């Protein structure tokens, strides 16, 4: 992070496997994030946004033409830069905000 950059304007990104089903996911994410930068490499798509990136279930379902549950995102993602600051049945948010707390991990 540079001296001028704060955690709130630092870009977030996700890397997804490039395959037929994930192309619909990429198209949905592109439609919901106006300032998104998309980079393609063999077998991989990187989606980068300033400060915040949203994946909306409703948009993904419209692109896929079938019901989609947000937990399916786990099968597409290779890596991410940022925190998963929100994850529920309607959307996933990647940002530099607070992480989603997982109550199941408290026992370890």
Are 48 and 12 a contacting pair, CB within 8 Å? yes
Task: Dump pLDDT digits (tens) for 30-84.
Answer: 999 999 999 999 999 999 999 999 999 999 999 999 999 999 999 999 999 999 9
Q: Which domains does the chain have, with CATH numbers?
A: 11-100 (3.90.56.10)
The Cα angle at residue 84 between residues 99 and 36, in degrees rounded to 5: 135
Are 59 and 78 a contacting pair, CB within 8 Å? no
Are 84 and 98 a contacting pair, CB within 8 Å? no
User: Which pTM value belongs to this model?
Assistant: 0.82
6's CB contacts (< 8 A; 6+ apart) are none
**Helix, strand or coil, per DSSP, at residue 32:** helix
């Amino acid at each position: 992070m540079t001296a001028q950059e704060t955690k709130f304007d630092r870009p977030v990104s996700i890397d997804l496997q490039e395959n037929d089903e994930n192309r619909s996911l990429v198209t949905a994410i592109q439609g919901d994030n106006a300032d998104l930068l998309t980079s393609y490499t063999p077998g991989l798509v990187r989606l980068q946004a300033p400060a915040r990136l949203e994946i909306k279930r409703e948009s993904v379902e419209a692109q896929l033409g079938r019901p989609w549950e947000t937990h399916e995102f786990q099968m597409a993602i290779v890596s991410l830069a940022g925190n998963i600051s929100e994850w529920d049945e309607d959307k996933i948010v990647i940002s530099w905000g607070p992480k989603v707390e997982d109550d199941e991990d408290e026992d370890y």
